[in-house]
A and B are shown apart, each in its own frame.
Chain A
Amino acid sequence: MIFTIKVNGQAHIVDVDDDTPLLWVLRDVLGMTGTKFGCGMALCGACTVHVDGVAIRSCVTPIDSVGTSEITTIEAIGATVVGARIQKAWLDREVVQCGYCQSGQIMSAADLLATNANPTDAEIDDAMSGNICRCGTYARIREAIKQAAAT
């Protein structure tokens, strides 16, 4: 089936089955590989993107559910005020290790701060616990979110 989707402000026409997860459309069809695959079952958060500003797991989001929504990925999150702040905090705090989970972490954090400018520890835990980091960078993610919130 033919779908027209809007990613990072640009329209793309793709021809895939209607149940194809958005993740694979982004990565394999459109070649936007910043969004990662970790589990395929909404268990790890590596594939997190925004649909109309809300963080979702693209590995379980069928393409036919996206419609005309605005999709934002890690490649463009730096263009938002919150996204840029988060990326800077991530660098300042040396959050990253292998880096594979960090696209998803940043997308989840960006959703959190866009809706809650000053989250408590519990709110941070709540928003971020769907994102696994196998390298164990949680403490620095928490610090970086606080730094981004304070700026």
Chain B
Amino acid sequence: MIVDQQAPRVSGPSEPPSVNTLSRRNFLRAGAAAGGGLVLSLRLPFATGEAEAAADNVFTPNAFVRIGSDGKIVLIMPYVEMGQGTYTAIPMLIAEELEVELQQIRLEHAPPNEKLYVNPLLGIQATGNSNAIRGAWQPLRQAGAVARNMLVTAAARHWNVDPTSCHAERGEVIHEATGRRLSYGELAAEAARMPVPENVALKRPQDFNLIGTPAKRLDTPAKVNGTAVFGIDVRPPGVKVATLAQSPVFGGRLKSVDDTAAKAINGVRQIVRLDDAVAVVADHMGAAKKGLEALVTEWDDGPHARLTTEAIAAELDEALLTPGAVAENIGDVDHAMAGAATKVEATYRLPFLAHATMEPMNCTVHLREDGCEIWVGTQALAKAQATAAETAGLPLDKVVVHNHLIGGGFGRRLEADWIARAVEIAKHVDGPVKVVWTREEDIQHDMYRPMFAHRLSAGLDGMGMPVAWNNHYAGSSVIARYLPPAFNNGLDPDTTEGAIDLVYDLPNLHVEYVRVEPPGIPTAFWRSVGPSRNVFVVESFMDELAAAVKQDPVAYRLALLDKTPRAKAVLALAAERIGWGERLPPRVGRGVSLQNAFATHMAQIAEVEVAKDGTVRVRRVVCAVDCGTAVNPDTVAAQIQGGIIFGITAALYGEITLKDGRVEQGNFDTYQILRMDEAPNIEVHIVQSQELPGGMGEAGTSAIGPAVTNAIFAATGKRLRKLPVEASALKQPV
């Protein structure tokens, strides 16, 4: 299979295929392709445009499968590859039912079109929230099955035999009795004239050939020999390179720039002044960076000049005392609390986090009078196009976006702020300009995982089991800004995921959220989003409850899981695999966490060692996961391993702080990332399951944080309620 990195200017089937049939369920159509052959257009269900489309009976497909007369099979799909293996897993779904080899399918990325290419679970054209496989699971398999059925019918007519006497295999239809064969290419034009079958049976899981096998990633070879093209690698003819400094305080403005020294630097071409930023345009990044350092810049810091993280934390603490929106209420918590034998209370605090994608923010723009061309790596193609058009003051159809491989997304590239910046700069530059952020700019002008505070309280009965559970929390809603229609009555699905619908059987529970936006600080989705905070809080507190009544944290949880067998099974499996209960050396401990997030059940047990000076080393992690059908098990394991490393980085080091309105961290020395010599041994155990596939890109990250801090508690008796881990608090007393 070939992966086409560049978004085609015009999509494959740009003219709608001449439609001859409409299936009753109205999710799929078939027709003849422009150059001969068969095109299936399908609409993924639950799309935002569905109601409106159904009303005027306009079919709005958002993915296409084209089988050409030359036998080539092209899948045009709206998802972006960010390293999570989507480009391999999605075509598997079609190939499985179509009975072709994975290598026969060529993948093209859908061009930006918000209406057509909506991601069914996110409601916008974007790749995020671990849902590519979840959204595509049913419709893409159905499309494959329908196409196969039409090809078989076409062959049977050609031979004048009963279709049931034929079968499809490796891109051919075979008549069993006579051994006659016709390839899909030979049949495609004929198949386009066949009726679309109403009900095609999908394969039973035990008959899968591809799904569930560890297929090789298809995007890999170019990434080991330097030929893969990321956004930062594009070089349109005549391109200049620019780098920038934005107002160090959010909301500040540029007051003055003395560029005398900068202009004298060999290779520096131009200084661009914006309202709140300044950029140096040069022949190469070396000159641009040198030029930037040579600028003498004065800023007007604006209203947030004195802002500190402490002030934001104080605001959150205050919000914990005010009523919020009720996210979930079961039974009568107040009543149950009043009658409880033991009461436990704790407050947890989570910091701002930067994404620090390995590839710093960058975007290349060629702005002409009559149009604009953009080269970028984005998780949200349509948003990129719309942002560029708005900034350039051009109609949407005058903006062409070439999407590229992404050197890490993690939610950062769902935004488009850096694209707007690049277009603003390009307005002042003749010809194409590539705007590359320094690492410092990337960290100091990120859009951050929000700070949160949670106050938890619980009442335990005479046996020590929880009868009342209260979770009151405050922080920013990313959804309220990013996708306003999804923020309703003071709540949104992201802020609450992991805080409600717990796996535990709790008879009385009350969860309340207060929205507090930090002044001037932009917040954004960050790998594992809501659960990145909520799972830490819930699993830390559950551990505290077990400890309060001196019970084993695994046994304590298991006793609350009779109604959620999948959760119970992964917890039991993880405990068995690590050898839970073994005696461990002093200052070594194991901690557990359990979650159902992104439609995936996961238990993790971390083993840590705390040195005399308080330094924490995560030695080993055992993870048991039930993600439903594991479409590509090797990718599932890789995503969990990577997600755990990402989560350990956050737990041990991750924190963005502000002083005088400025972000205090700048590069990997002050915003540390876990390195190989600190990376634990990670074992992933995948539960065989035929349930619907769950999300995999993020689950590993949210589960590891509390497993680590619970393990630190086991090793030292010290309960950490604030991330990141503060090593100085863990020093061994002498």
A31 within 8 A of B: yes
User: Can you name 17 A-B residue pairings with CB atoms under 8 Å?
Assistant: A17-B267, A21-B286, A32-B226, A37-B436, A40-B667, A41-B667, A43-B667, A43-B668, A90-B220, A99-B228, A100-B408, A106-B224, A125-B676, A128-B677, A131-B676, A134-B357, A136-B646
Q: Is the C-beta of B674 less than 8 angstroms from some C-beta in chain A?
A: yes
- CA of A139 to CA of B634, assembled, Å: 13
The interface bits of chain B over 350-385 (1 if a CB of A lies within 8 angstroms of the residue's CB, else 0) are 000000111110000000000000000000000000
Q: Contacting A28 at CB < 8 Å: which of B241, B265, B406, B682?
A: B241
Identify A129's interface contact among B84, B225, B359, B677, CB under 8 A.
Answer: B677
Flag whether A91 is at the interface (Cβ < 8 A). Answer: yes
Question: Which of B272-280, B477-485, B503-511, B635-643 is the contact stretch?
Answer: B635-643
- Whether a CB of chain B sits under 8 angstroms from the CB of A87 is yes
Chain A 108-135 interface mask (CB, 8 Å, partner B; 1/0)? 0000000000000000111011111111
In the complex, the answer to whether B82 meets A136 with C-beta atoms within 8 Å is no
* B residues less than 8 Å from A27 (CB atoms): 233, 284-285
| Whole-angstrom CA separation of A23 from B645 in the bound complex | 28
Interfacial chain B residues near A65, Cβ < 8 Å: none
Is there an interface contact between B358 and A17, defined as CB atoms closer than 8 Å? Answer: no
B405 (CB) vs chain A CBs: closest residue: A99
Is B287 on the interface with A (CB-CB < 8 A)? yes
- How distant is B179 from chain A, measured CB to nearest CB, in Å? 38
Report if A99-B407 is in contact (Cβ < 8 Å); known contacts: A17-B290, A133-B358.
Answer: yes
Q: How far is the CB of B440 from chain A (nearest CB, A)?
A: 9
Contact assessment for A129 and B676 in the assembled complex, using a CB-CB cutoff below 8 Å: yes
- For window 2-51 of A, CB contacts with B under 8 Å fall at 16-17, 19-21, 23-25, 27-29, 31-41, 43-44, 46
In order of increasing CB-CB distance, the 5 nearest A-B pairs are: A34-B226, A136-B645, A100-B407, A98-B83, A99-B223
Contact B226 A96 (CB under 8 A): no
CA distance A117 to B681 in the complex (A): 23
B-side contacts of A130, CB under 8 Å: 675
What B residues does A103 contact at CB under 8 A? 226
Q: B216 at interface (Cβ–Cβ under 8 A)?
A: yes
Interface string of A93-107 (1 = CB under 8 A from B): 010111111110010
Q: Which of chain B's residues have a CB closer than 8 A to the CB of A40? A: 289, 438-439, 667
Is A137's beta carbon under 8 Å from chain B?
A: yes
Contacting residues, chain B, for A139 (C-beta < 8 A): 641, 679, 681-682
B83 touches A135 (CB 8 A): yes
A137 touching B219 by the CB < 8 A rule?
Answer: no
How many angstroms from the CA of A139 to the CA of B226 in the assembled complex? 22
Instruction: Give complex CA distance A9, B638 in Å.
Output: 37
Interface residues of B in 388-424 (CB under 8 A from A): 405-410
User: In the complex, A97 Cα to B527 Cα: how many Å?
Assistant: 15
A78 at the interface (CB under 8 A from B): yes
Contacts of A38 in B (CB 8 A): 358-360, 439, 668
Bound Cα distance A136, B667 (Å): 18
Using A17-B287, A136-B643 as known contacts, list a sample of 16 further A-B pairs with CB atoms less than 8 Å apart, ordered by residue number in A. A21-B286, A34-B226, A37-B360, A38-B439, A75-B227, A87-B225, A91-B220, A94-B634, A97-B84, A97-B642, A98-B83, A98-B408, A100-B357, A106-B224, A134-B357, A139-B682
B284 interface neighbour in A28, A91, A137, Cβ under 8 Å: A28
State in angstroms the CA–CA spacing of A44 and B265 once bound together. 27
| Contact among B222, B223, B358, B641 for A134, CB-based, below 8 A | B358
The reply to whether B439 and A39 contact each other, CB–CB distance below 8 Å, is yes
| Set B83, B284, B290: member contacting A97, Cβ < 8 A | B83
Q: Does A74 contact B (CB under 8 A)?
A: yes
Residues of B within 8 A of A34 (CB): 225-227
| Assembly CA distance A27 to B283 (angstroms) | 11
Q: Is B235 an interface residue (CB 8 A)?
A: yes
Interface size class of A (residues with CB under 8 A): 35 or more
Q: Determine if A20 and B677 form an interchain contact, defined as CB atoms under 8 angstroms apart.
A: no
Give A99 to B405 CA distance when docked, in angstroms: 9
Q: B266 at interface (Cβ–Cβ under 8 A)?
A: yes
Interface residues of B in 456-512 (CB under 8 A from A): none
Q: Contact flags (1/0) for B624-649 with A, using CB distance below 8 Å? A: 00000000001000100111111000
Give A29 to B241 CA distance when docked, in angstroms: 11
In the assembled complex, the Cα of A113 lies from the Cα of B287 at a distance in Å of 35
Question: B286 contacts A91, CB within 8 Å?
Answer: no
Q: CA–CA, A145 to B670, complex, Å?
A: 29
| A35 and B226 within 8 A (CB) | yes
A13, B427: Cα distance in complex, Å: 33
Are A137 and B642 neighbours in the complex by a CB distance under 8 Å? Answer: yes
Q: State whether the Cβ of B669 lies closer than 8 Å to any Cβ in chain A.
A: yes
| B284 adjacent to A94 (CB under 8 Å) | no
Please count how many residues in chain B sit with their CB below 8 Å of the partner chain's CB atoms. Answer: 64
B685 to chain A, nearest CB (A): 15
With A41-B667, A97-B638 already in contact, the answer to whether A24 and B679 are too (CB < 8 A) is no
Q: Is the CB of B439 within 8 A of A20?
A: no
Q: Is the CB of A136 within 8 A of B676?
A: no
Min Cβ gap A34→B in Å is 2
Q: Closest Cβ of chain A: how far from B28's Cβ, in Å?
A: 33
B712 at the interface (CB under 8 A from A): no
* Contact status B265-A31, CB under 8 Å: no
**B569 → chain A closest CB, angstroms:** 25
Nearest CB in chain B to that of A104: its residue: B358
Q: How far is the CB of B202 from chain A (nearest CB, A)?
A: 28
A82 within 8 A of B: no
A124 and B634 CA atoms in complex are apart in Å by 24
Question: Do A102 and B360 have beta carbons less than 8 Å apart?
Answer: no
Which of chain A's residues have a CB closer than 8 A to the CB of B359? 36, 38, 98, 100
B359, B646, B682, most chain A CB atoms within 10 A: B359
Cβ contact within 8 Å between A94 and B677: no
**Which A residues touch B409, using CB under 8 A?**
98
Q: Would B638 and A140 count as touching, CB distance under 8 A?
A: yes
B232 contacts A by Cβ under 8 Å: yes
Q: Which residues of chain B have C-beta atoms less than 8 A from A126's C-beta? A: 677
B1 at the interface (CB under 8 A from A): no
CA distance in complex: A127, B408 (Å): 24
Q: Which of A48-92 contact B (CB under 8 A)?
A: 73-75, 78, 87, 90-91
Residues of chain A within 8 A of B238, CB atoms compared:
none
CB pair B675 A73 closer than 8 Å: no
Interchain nearest-CB distance for A113 vs B (Å): 15
Contact B267 A39 (CB under 8 A): no
B360 CB, min distance to chain A CBs, angstroms: 7
C-alpha spacing A33/B84, complex, angstroms: 23
Choose among A17, A32, A78, A132 the residue that contacts B265 (Cβ–Cβ < 8 A): A17
Q: A75 contacts B679, CB within 8 Å?
A: no
Within the complex, the shortest CB–CB distance from A149 to chain B, in Å, comes to: 16
Q: Contact check, B224 vs A96: say whether CB atoms are below 8 A apart.
A: yes
Residues of A within 8 A of B439 (CB): 38-41
What distance in Å separates the Cβ of B235 from its nearest Cβ neighbour in chain A?
6
B722 within 8 A of A: no
Docked complex Cα distance between A40 and B436 (Å): 12
CB distance from B138 to the nearest CB of A (A): 27
Task: Answer yes or no: B263 CB below 8 A from chain A CBs.
Answer: no
Q: What residues of chain A lie closer than 8 Å to B643, measured between beta carbons? A: 136
Least distance between B386 CB and chain A CB atoms (Å): 25
- In the complex, what residues of B have CB within 8 A of residue A129's CB? 675-677
Task: Please indicate the chain B residues that have their CB under 8 angstroms from the CB of A137 in the complex.
Answer: 638, 641-642
Q: Give the contacting residue for A128; candidates B84, B405, B669, B676; CB below 8 A.
A: B676
Cβ A136 vs Cβ B679 within 8 A: yes
Known contacts A17-B290, A136-B641, A138-B645; A98/B406 CB under 8 A: yes
Residues of A close to B223: CB separation below 8 A = 96, 99, 102
- Of the candidates B266, B406, B638, B644, the one whose C-beta lies within 8 Å of that of A16 is B266
Chain B residue with Cβ nearest A30: B284
User: How far is B219's CA from A91's CA once the two chains are assembled, in angstroms?
Assistant: 10
Q: Which residues of A contact B286 (CB under 8 A)?
A: 16-17, 20-21, 23-25, 28
